Amino acid sequence: MNRPYLVNFSAIASSGKVSIRANITDSNHQLKNRSSKTSAPIESLSLFHKHLYRVKIMGLNEENITILEKEYDTDNYGNLELQLAHSINDQKICKILIYETAYYPGVDIHLGSFLPLIINEPKKIIISDFDKTLVDTKYSTPRELYHSLNKPVSYFPTVDKSLEIVHSYLDQGFQPFILSASPHFYENAIRDWLYQNKIFASNIYLKDYRDFISLFDGSLATKDLKKHGFYKINQLVDILMMIGIPDHLVLFGDGFETDDFIYLILKSLLVDKTDPWKLWKSIKNHRIFNLNSKQDSYFLTKFYRLSEMSKSHGSIKLEIFIRATDQNIEELKNKKFTNKYIVDMASAVNYYVA
């Protein structure tokens, strides 16, 4: 018998609010048991189901007394994004229960219980790419794609230098987030690898490929199947709007795509306080974005909001690390950015060979 299950759930408590992102799908069997040591992405490949759900969110205080209870509708693909006040009548939400209430009328199906991730002060955040940054994955041939789906992530070589640098920041109390353009059904496999390597990132953001078959709900277009620019910068802004502006932000990526350019755009907005309209106008037609009209209006609003948040925050320390190889390190170091708002900032990127 089918029933709803959570594919992923994220609750972040920061700046007086709890930001929630959830994704629900149908299944006739429980999703992979997290006690298993490893998983292959193909085990989650069925997570393409389309359905609208009704979700009950309950917030409990430190004594497990319910202080908030509200219901919300997901979009047609089971996605839910919302913000709640962290304190209700001077009592903080310490635990969140989530139920689906419409799948079987009259029955509340328990989907999970969660403790919100508390963002510490001062805010020290790492946001890292995964493929070719932490793990040297390969998807260029049918054989490589087959192995990526049927093997655990540990099948691919670990990028030890990247892992070493990330751990050096974790040891200083930085809180990690993973942002990758890998398909959403890779989450369990990626989480297994992260935990095995002592990166306890509860928040993993992957590209939801159901976006491409949604005419009205999705923000991604067919062009974004291969171009990851809009997806990545959009997700970066979403993450920062959930956690608030960090005092110290560290961004990790690789030199095989356009991570350095995307991170420098963010640096221009947050650190140099570049006018968001002028900055966005200068990049929206760039080949890595090539925005359609829906994406243009959708994202510009969030760009402005992030800009206002950064202005009210004050100074921000931002570091960028880009993984290179012996073959492309010189090319990356000598890369010229033609955008007038970031051309003088290329020296801010730390390229390292791994």
DSSP letters for 62-107: TTS-EEEEEEEE--TBSEEEEEEESEETTEE--EEEEEE-TTTTT-
Taking domain 3-118, whether its CATH number is 2.30.30.230 is answered by no
Q: Is the pLDDT of residue 249 over 70?
A: yes
User: Is a pLDDT exceeding 50 seen at residue 221?
Assistant: no
In the predicted model, is pLDDT for residue 108 greater than 60? yes
Whether the pTM exceeds 0.95: the reply is no
Q: In what order do the strands lie in the sheet with 248-254?
A: 204-207, 175-183, 124-128, 248-254, 317-324, 349-353
In angstroms, rounded to a whole number, what is the distance separating the alpha carbons of residues 230 and 219?
10
pLDDT for residue 138 is more than 90: no
Q: Where are the CATH 2.60.40.1930 domain residues in the chain? A: 3-118
- Which range, 78-82, 172-176, 218-222, is most confident? 172-176
- Give the model's confidence band at 223: pLDDT under 50 very low, under 70 low, under 90 confident, else very high: very low
DSSP 233-253: HHHHHHHHHHH---SEEEEEE
Residue 17 confidence (pLDDT): 96
Q: State the pLDDT at residue 286.
A: 80
Residue 58 pLDDT > 90:
yes
DSSP conformational letter for 203: -
Please tell me which residue, 7 or 343, carries the higher pLDDT value. Answer: 7
Residue 79: predicted pLDDT: 87
CATH 3.40.50 region(s) of the chain?
A: 124-353
Q: Does the domain formed by 124-353 have CATH 3.40.50? A: yes
**In this predicted structure, which of 77-81, 114-118, 272-276, 289-293 has the lowest mean pLDDT?**
289-293
CA proximity to 93, closest of 57, 118, 61, 58: 61
33 — pLDDT class (breaks 50, 70, 90): very low
Nearest to 249 by CA among 306, 318, 304: 318
Phi and psi angles of residue 208, each rounded to the nearest 5 degrees, phi first: -85, 105
Average pLDDT of the segment spanning 263-271: 93
Least-confidence region, from 48-52, 116-120, 302-306, 321-325? 48-52
Q: 10 with 34: CB under 8 angstroms?
A: no
Query: What pLDDT, on a 0 to 100 scale, did the predictor assign at position 139?
Result: 62
DSSP lists the bridge partners of residue 349 as: 320
What does each C-alpha distance from 167 to 144, 179, 180, 197 come to in angstroms? 29, 17, 19, 10
Cα gap 11→306, rounded to integer Å: 20
Examine the pLDDT at 321 and tell me if it is beyond 50: yes
pLDDT of residue 225: 46
pLDDT in tens, 143-194: 656 566 677 788 889 999 999 999 999 999 999 999 988 877 788 889 999 9
Average pLDDT of the residues of the chain: 85
What is the model's pLDDT at position 41? 58
**What is the model's pLDDT at position 26?**
82
Provide the 10 A C-beta neighbour count for residue 198.
10
pLDDT of residue 36 exceeding 60: no
pLDDT at residue 283, rounded to an integer: 83
Residue 140 has pLDDT above 70, yes or no: no
What pLDDT score was predicted for residue 226? 55
Least confident piece of the model among 63-77, 165-179, 215-229, 274-288: 215-229
Which DSSP helix (H) or strand (E) runs through 349?
strand 349-353
What's residue 35's pLDDT?
43
Give CA 269 to chain center in angstroms. Answer: 19
* Average pLDDT over every residue of 287-313: 81
Q: Which residue has the higher pLDDT, 207 or 272?
A: 272
Q: How high is the pLDDT of residue 67?
A: 97
- pLDDT for 234: 87
State mean pLDDT over 321-330. Answer: 93
